[in-house]
Every structure is written in C-alpha cells, then in structure tokens.
Chain A
Amino acid sequence: MAVIKNNSAIKVHTKHLLGIQNLSIIEAKKILNEAKSFIKLNRSKSKKLDVLRGKTQINLFFEPSTRTQSSFDLAGKRLGADVMTMNMGNSALKKGETLIDTAMTLNAMHPDLIVIRHQDSGAPNLLSQKVNCAVINAGDGRREHPTQALLDALTIINRKGKIEGLKIAICGDILHSRVARSNIYLMNMLGAEVNVIAPKTLMPKSIEKLGVKAFTDMKKGLDSSDIVMMLRLQNERMQGSFLPSKREYYEYYGLTSEKLKYASKDALIMHPGPMNRGVEIDTKLADDINVSLVKEQVELGVAVRMACLKIYCK
C-alpha cells in the first residue's frame, strides 16, 4: 500500500459512508491509515480519547447484530461520543412508521452520526438523503458492508504488510452476502486478485462483471491464494433448496485443513462471523491461531470503526 505521509491532509469527499463502491482509493487508504493508529490505543490500558466529545452517535439497528453493533458502540465511546443504540425490532416501525419518518424524527435530535443496519439494500442511501448528519452503513440487505471490508483489509495488511498483488479467495454464499460484495470492491481497488467460490445456486449471475473470477470447485478457486475468506452459510438458505444438505455442502465447500492445502503455503483464513462450525469451516481449523485471523478481525473492527466515525463526523 502506498505510504501516505500526511493522512489528515486527505479530504473525504463523500459525506456518508454508504459503500465501498462510493469510495475512492485514496479515501479507503485514509480510513485504513487512520485505523492503524487506533490499534495500539485499543491494546493500551487507557482507551479513551475525546476527539468526538460532545458529538452524538445513534446506532440504528433494524437487523440483529452482535459484533458489528458492539463494535460501533465501543468505537464511538472510545472516541468520547455520546452513543445511543436503538434496536428497531420493537420500535415505532412496527407501528407503521416508515424509515423516512424515523429518519426525520431522529434528525430533529441533531445527531452527528447515524450508523444504520437495515435488511433492505439501499436503506442507508435513502436515510442519507433525509438527514443532515453523516450516515455510516453497517450493512444493508445484500448490498454492502463497508466497515467489514475495511476491517478485513486492515487485518490483511497487518499480517501480510500489503494487499496489492495478493490472491484472495472468497468462498461460500456469495449470492446473499454483502460482505462478499464489499470485499470484492475493496480488494480489487487495493490491487488484489479476487476469486469467488460457491455452488452455482449461491453464485450471482454475471458476478464476473464485478471484477472477479468465479469457481465452483474449491481446488481451482483456492489455487495459490494467500487469503481464504469464508462466508457464513445462512441456515435458512438450506430450506429454500439452494443446496441439498449441510453434509453435502461441507463435503464440497467446507474449509478443512485438506482443502486449505490447495491454497498457498502461508495462506490465512478469515471469517466475518458468526461461524457455523462444521458447515462452512472445520471447527479445529477455525480456532487454529496459526492460520485463523478471526479474532484479529474482531479486534481491528473496533479500530476501523473508530477511524470511520472520526473521519465522517463533521
């Protein structure tokens, strides 16, 4: 990755973080650089800063989430913001209030940041048109999950020193995955070569147009890859006859130490969580600290979200 000498000199032109697709390479690098500085802080004894003191951050979660929600929550608090998390499962929306109405209501409380997760693709975009503050997408439908891709990138950089020139394989339910999409855009942007691997029924039509090579065979798709990103297989997909059974899926697409041998010798494994052990990944492999970056992903997630909050909060 190109060295950026004066990170604060780079201006972010977009007001909101809606997706990697809307991000320029220089903006992505700025976020990653900023995040690096928070890694140490998060490991130190005193983790609190005051860069967002007096700012209000609202986390608006329309979909259940554990790690992303707590990660944003902590990130805001560590920067000194007042953080309010709203789980919208049992809110006014159930009483018929529309997303726009909710947005207007919250906007009237003058937040500085709204972090939104929504089951509908494009919901953060709609929200951003109606509020005055910055909107950060914490995952929308199957469209994007930009902070996940950024934290994945940071994790890779942390271990491999760079992304440019790496071979990255993304394996699993590509069709329904926002994580896959954001990672495809970001890893491509940062100069990696991206393979996607999935059974035909979980592979979106014309995925190649996003700049990847598509494989149905793990052996070919993993060939000499440096990073293997496994995706969560949502159990509800099993009933829609996307796949014959968990057993068959594990046989052909579950990552085991045998299949990992197809990848390059020092390949590392990532997973955005939560994991289905024994479905998409062998449980021992998932916990093998020599190859699995799963814990590091979670750790660096906080740093990346701190960077995003800091940069986008105006």
Chain B
Amino acid sequence: MKEKIFINARIIDPSQKMDEKGYLIVGENGKIKLIGKNIKKEKLQTTSEVIDLKGNILIPGIVDMKAFVGEPGFEYKENFRTLSQAALAGGVTSIVTMPNTNPVIDNVSMVDFIIRRGRDKSSVNLFPCAALTKQMQGKLMTEFGLLSSKGIVGFSDVNSTVQNTETMARIMNYASDVGVLIMQHAEDYDLSKNGCINEGEISNRLGLEGIPDIAEQIIIERDLTLLGEYSCRYHINQISSKKSLNIIEKNKSNGKKFTVGVSINNLSLNENDIGDFKTFLKLSPPLRAEDDRFALVQGIKDGLIDIIVSDHLPEDEESKRLPFAQAATGAVGIETLLPLALEMYHNESLPLNKIIETLTINPSKILKINKGTLKVGSDADICVFDLDAPWVVKAEELKSKSKNTAIEGRTLQGKILMTFLNGELVFNKK
C-alpha cells in the first residue's frame, strides 16, 4: 500500500483530546504514522498519495458495540457482507456482534465458525460476543475463560436478562476472577411481561400493554448491588429511562466502576413517534417519554453514559407487518448511527467531541481493544464526514439487507464521505 497523506482535515480524536486542523499520515503498513498540525514538510514523501479533505472532519473509525449479524441462521435478515457494507457506509469500522444467532454462540466451535466466516465474508473488524448463559436461557454460565481465549470480547444474552439473582451473583463472582466483560440487558420479565411500548399515556391510547421503567431500574439496582460484592467488568447494554439514570448516578458517585450504553434510538426518538402503530419503532428497551430522552442526552453530557450504540437489529418485512403486539422488535441503524448522533450536536444538546468520544474511544476502552484512536502506531481505521451536508433517510437506499429503519423520511445533517480500514479506502460516497 502506498503511503497516504490527508491534508486540510479537521482531526477529532478524543483519545488524544485532539481537535485541530492538520495532517494525518498513514504508513505503508496501514498504521497511523504521524498526526497533527505540527508535521514538518520534510517528513512528507513526494511519492505519497495526497487526499485533500477540504476542511471536512476526520475521526477514528466508529466502534459500534451492539449489532446483530444474521449469520448463522438468519441470513435472510442480514449477513456479514451486507452488514459490513452498511457499517462502512456509516463510518463504522469495528462491530461487536451479538450471539443471538441460530445456533446461539455459546460454545467454542461456534466461535471458531463465526470468526472464520466473518474473516472471509466481511470487510470490517468484527469483535464477537458470546452468550452469557447457555442458549441464552439465563441458567448456566458459558465457558468464559475458554471463549475469551478464542477471541470473545464480551458476554451478553443480548435482549434477554438473567432473571435469577443467584445465577447472576455466580456469573459476576466467576467473571470477577476471569476478568471478562459482562454486558447486561436490564429488564425484569415479570414486570415487562407482554409489554410492547413504554407504559403511560401512549400505551393507554394505543391499547398496548406497557413496559414500566422500573422493570429496567430494578435489574440495574440488583446488579449494582451484586457488583458491590463481586467487582467484575460490568456493562449495561442500553438504558432507556431517567429513573435508571438516577440509580447510575448514585452508584457512580459512590465510586462503583461500571459502564453504561444507550441506543441512538432512545436518544433521538420518543414514544410519541410510534404514532399509529408504527412497528418499526417497536424497540427493546422501548422508546420512552420525552423527559426520559432528554435525561439520557444529559446523561451523556455528564459522563454517566459512556457509549452510544446503533442497536442494529435487521428484521424482514414479514416480521414487522403484523399487529403491533405480534411484530418483531428492533430497527436497523448502523448506517445512520453517526449522522443521527450528529443531530445532538446540531441542536446544541451535546458538544461534537463528546459524541465522537462515545462512538470511538469509549467503547474501545470498555472492550479493551486497540481501536477508536488515531494515536501513532494504531490501525488506520478512519471515518471522514461532512458535518453539515443535509440528506433524507430513505429505507430503500440503505445498504442493510433489511430496511426496517426507525427514521424513514427524517432529514439528517452530516454525511459520511469516506471510510478507511487499515489505511485502505473501503467506502467512498460519490
């Protein structure tokens, strides 16, 4: 590969607290060679390929900590190829994949399969998660040690929750020794049973059973209590409400160490958007009230929430064209993750650097992977975007195999221009 020099770039790299106009040089080995405004002329090789970014923004490739790839078992919803195309078009270069495939990724041979298959068929960095419990049934823990040694970065039952407190205690106790990352979906099933959307006025009007916000809170409180006893690497996948945030604040200020994620959907939509039974907005955790959405944005600002995920969940049309209660849960979102997140910059809710931080270095730190940074020597995974360019989300133009976007027709500001993986151009918006 020829050396590449990016010029006229506004480089934002929260891992180095950098936000400046400058250069970036990618060496022939596909790693960052030099970065910043103070690069001496003589360092520039005349043989290098020069890429003029014309003032556009250059950031580390985005790390999305929650996405569903349909393989194996659900290839008709998404596969490695379509997922990576969608990801790269969204500036995402590293994806943490969920284990709720068929079969479930809960054993060593499945991990081998997914890593090999991913390597062959995809063009992004894949970081697979394994199930927290066998068959994601919430009963027996998986082989944390063996699976980690095979390349598993975290353990999650995705949108299932370990209900049994004793089981969860043992999982956390064991994990505290092995040092693995536990990623919990917080939902008390007894309280959320049959629920489709947030419990409140909208659920009353639509006649749908509600999911109370305390269903999330109660699991978070339980787990954080356990965390006091068994201090493992603990991450809450996605929170959705103000109440959860209050618990998190209390515990973080008491010095407990854990991390928290939020879906871009819960940051940019609320229960009112469900309108007349729009099943594409049936999500888990559910969209909640505007008060909650606002609190979550504030939670990012205050550092209570560490990361934003796309919660990319492709569903075919047949699973969505059903009465609301029967319809599948989830929305695609990996391709629109950054542009939708930029909305919070444009409407002055969050500083740009904070948004980038939650999408790059923060997930990398949680996962303990060497991504999400442009420090010299790291892999040259890069996303270049135009901060201001407007565009309209059209489902049929999305690269994901499934078109169940929750933001069809929404006008966004901010467009991905180029994505590089190990210094190679892998997406170019022309």
Contact = CB atoms under 8 A, between A and B. Distances in A.
21 contacts: A98-B318, A98-B321, A98-B322, A120-B326, A121-B277, A121-B324, A122-B206, A122-B208, A122-B276, A122-B323, A126-B321, A126-B322, A126-B323, A140-B207, A141-B325, A142-B208, A143-B205, A181-B207, A204-B210, A205-B210, A209-B201
Interface in A3-47: 21
B64 interface: no
Interface residues of A, number: 24
Interface string B186-227: 000000000000011101111111101000000000000000
B370 to A, nearest CB: 47
B277 A181 contact: no
Contact of B207 (A100, A141, A209): A141
Contacts of B205: 21, 143, 181, 210
Given A98-B318, A98-B321, A205-B210, A122 B277 contact: yes
Contacts of A99: 322-323
B213 to A, nearest CB: 10
Interface of B: 199-201, 203-210, 212, 276-277, 318, 321-326
Contacts of A210: 201, 204-205
A118 B323 contact: yes
A201 to B, nearest CB: 13
Interface string A228-252: 0000000000000000000000000
Contacts of B325: 120-122, 141
A194 to B, nearest CB: 14
Contacts of A122: 206-208, 276-277, 323-325
A144 B204 CA distance: 10
Given A98-B318, A122-B277, A125-B277, A209 B204 contact: yes
Decide if the interface of chain B is mainly helix, strand, loop or mixed.
loop
A104 B277 CA distance: 19
A144 B208 CA distance: 11
B408 to A, nearest CB: 15
A178 interface: yes
A8 B423 CA distance: 72
A94 B60 CA distance: 52
A22 to B, nearest CB: 9
Interface in A177-210: 178, 181, 204-207, 209-210
A123 interface: yes
B200 A100 contact: no
Contacts of B212: 205
Interface in A94-120: 98-100, 118, 120
Contacts of A206: 200-201, 204
A301 to B, nearest CB: 21
A120 B206 contact: no
B321 A100 contact: yes
Given A99-B323, A126-B323, A205 B200 contact: yes
B111 to A, nearest CB: 34
Given A120-B326, A125-B277, A206-B201, 16 more contacts: A121-B207, A121-B323, A126-B323, A140-B207, A142-B208, A142-B209, A143-B207, A178-B207, A181-B207, A205-B199, A205-B200, A205-B204, A205-B210, A205-B212, A207-B204, A210-B205
